[in-house]
Amino acid sequence: MSDSPAGVVDLLGVLAYAELTAFLRLAEDAAAFAPSLTDRAALSDLAAAEYAHFRLLRDRLTWLGVDPEEAMAPFVAALDDWHAQTRPGDWLEALVKAYVGTGIAGDFYREAARHVDPETRKLVDEVLAEESRSEFVVERVRAGLAENPKLSGRLALWARRMVGEALSQGHRLAAARPELALLLVSMAPQEAGTSEAGTGEDLVEIGRLFARLTEEHGKRMAALGLVPGP
């Protein structure tokens, strides 16, 4: 039996399943949509990295005395539904999903990790690192837009759909797993001081949360060339 707070176990569980499904989906997209063997290999490399992240999270849960399958189980339906409703239709849609859709979900997990122990926070930051994914996707999407600028509108709409579906599933998870939701709205110790966090403070924190999420999403869209940069 684990002594870790329920919110921490939920965070590691949802991340573990998210990484496992990301591995499976990226591998499928590489086989189905990659226009060249080079692209197929590159996307497969990203898939392999996701699986390595899954193993880190699985091992951490096991070390904490938690059955990884039990920790992941509450999140299977929501994440599977998200993938089912955001199935890409071509190569560029697959790349935008891998970058924008997965990115907004990762931002939520990072926000939750702001209020957990340092070791868990470090692990979350490690598995959500985006450098290799960003470089590959940005290069390929920008090349596709340079070749056919008319794709910009369609891909921008697709990206907005990714975010909308991610937010919908986020609400679903928050309702089902209140301990995980509390990590998003709880004030960090250094922010809370000795006072209790009331409704007003929570609303302010939620406002700041969505401002940060919006800013990060805007940066990704600008990087892809789908919206003007700052």
Domain ranges within the chain, ordered by starting residue? 6-224
How does pLDDT run across 14-25, given as a tens digit for each residue?
999 999 999 999
pLDDT value of residue 34: 96
Look up residue 56 and give its amino acid: L
How does pLDDT run across 97-138, given as a tens digit for each residue?
999 988 888 888 888 888 888 999 999 988 988 777 788 999
pLDDT value of residue 198: 47
Residue 186 has phi, psi (to 5 degrees) of: -70, 145
Asked whether the beta carbons of 38 and 90 are under 8 A apart, the reply is no
pLDDT value of residue 199: 53
**Ranges of H-type helices in 34-176:** 37-63, 68-72, 76-85, 91-96, 102-113, 118-127, 131-147, 151-176
pLDDT beneath 70, residues of the chain: 1-4, 185-206, 228-230
Residues 6+ apart with CB under 8 A from 15: 57, 109, 124, 127, 128
pLDDT value of residue 2: 53
pLDDT value of residue 196: 46
Kindly list the distances between the CA atom of residue 56 and the CA atoms of 68, 114, 119, 204, in Å, as whole numbers in the listed order: 11, 19, 13, 34
**CA 225/CA 1 separation, integer angstroms:** 48
CATH number of 6-224: 1.20.1260.10
